[in-house]
Amino acid sequence: MPQFGIVDPVIRSLGTTLDGEMWCNNPKPSFYAERLASTLASHILVTYSRYRYREMRNRGPHWTKLRRSIEYIDANIDQPLPLDELARMAGMSKFHFAKSFSQAMGIPPHQYLVRARVQKAKGLLTDATLSVSEIASRVGYADTGQFSAQFLKGMGLSPARYRRYVTRS
């Protein structure tokens, strides 16, 4: 998740060392810079990644496959995402995917998708230039009524009331 103003001595140290190595006239072997970059990436992932990704490792043997499908959902939230497509992304049968996903995430894949779409819509509703029907389309709903019903169910407010509440605050 984007974060700003972080003061992290590990990132600073690794970044400074990596930067120095990149500008050095007599660099060390390439594996040195690769290891620095890998260590930096690992630190950022472990320290700043979304909670759900870190927790998935403890929730079952298929967490890497499930993470792939979650990342696919996040990247394609505006598209229809049938269960068989998500299962294919994870390299599993529909039944095995649905069962593994529910065990790892605590909710079925469809419910996760609806929640992800509502979360994305919350951010888009702060932009007053977008209509509710445009937002519905951008989060994967062809029918504005269905979007509004799902948003109301998830947030307790209609999209229009949520927008008024957020922009007033």
pLDDT digits (tens, 9 = 90+) for 131-166: 999 999 999 999 999 999 999 999 999 999 999 988
What is the distance between the alpha carbons of residues 163 and 157, in angstroms, rounded to a whole number?
9
Q: pTM, whole model, 2 decimals?
A: 0.65
25 pLDDT above the threshold of 70: yes
Sign of CA dihedral 105, 111, 117, 121: negative
Q: Give domain limits for the chain.
A: 9-49, 53-106, 113-168
Residues in the chain: 169
Question: Phi, psi (5° rounding) for residue 60?
Answer: 150, 165
How far CA 40 is from CA of 9, 18, 60, 93, 94, in Å, comes to 11, 9, 26, 35, 36
Res 39: pLDDT? 86
67 pLDDT above the threshold of 90: no
Q: Are 73 and 34 in contact (CB under 8 A)?
A: no
pLDDT digits (tens, 9 = 90+) for 79-132: 999 999 999 999 999 999 999 999 888 899 999 999 999 999 999 999 999 999
CATH classification number, 113-168, choose in 3.30.1300.10, 3.30.200.20, 1.10.10.60, 3.30.360.10: 1.10.10.60
Q: Count Cα atoms within 13 angstroms, Cβ side, for 43.
A: 14
